[in-house]
């Protein structure tokens, strides 16, 4: 059963920020990379439990996307009863660990 993937406002802002930062509208390679990132995020609908739990919070999981040194963490929460996934935040892996307040 598919789990609809919902981009929360903070994650959407992160996605837009990444698009702008890599100049995806000016580079075919950047646009392809960004498209693959989006595809990876929305593929969470098939098997959201395949990604590991975050070290910061056992209720959350993270999808790692990219190659070093350009790895991004897609932090999300699964709601089993409602069969849905909320993407909470997209951040560069090199950033410090997040606090729960960072996801609001």
Q: Structural domains in the chain? A: 5-103 (3.30.2310.20)
Contact present, 31 and 24 (Cβ < 8 Å):
yes
Start-to-end CA distance of the chain, whole Å, equals 28
Dihedral (C-alpha) 45, 69, 24, 19: value to the nearest 10 degrees?
A: 60
pTM score = 0.87
The β-bridge relationship of strands 5-7 and 60-65 is unpaired
Whether residue 20 has a cis bond before it, omega within 30° of 0: no
Contact present, 53 and 73 (Cβ < 8 Å):
no
- Residue by residue, pLDDT tens for the chain (104 residues) are 799 999 999 999 999 999 999 999 999 999 999 999 999 999 999 999 999 999 989 999 999 999 888 889 999 999 999 999 999 999 877 665 666 666 65
């Amino acid at each position: 059963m598919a789990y609809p993937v919902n981009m929360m406002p903070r994650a959407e802002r992160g996605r837009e920020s990444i698009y702008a930062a890599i100049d995806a509208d000016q580079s075919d390679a950047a646009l392809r990379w960004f498209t693959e990132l989006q595809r990876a995020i929305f593929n969470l609908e098939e098997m959201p439990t395949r990604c590991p739990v975050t070290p910061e919070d056992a209720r959350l999981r993270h999808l790692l996307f990219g190659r070093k040194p350009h790895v991004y963490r897609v932090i999300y929460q699964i709601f089993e009863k409602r069969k849905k996934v909320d993407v909470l935040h997209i951040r560069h892996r090199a950033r410090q660990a997040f606090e729960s307040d960072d996801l609001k």
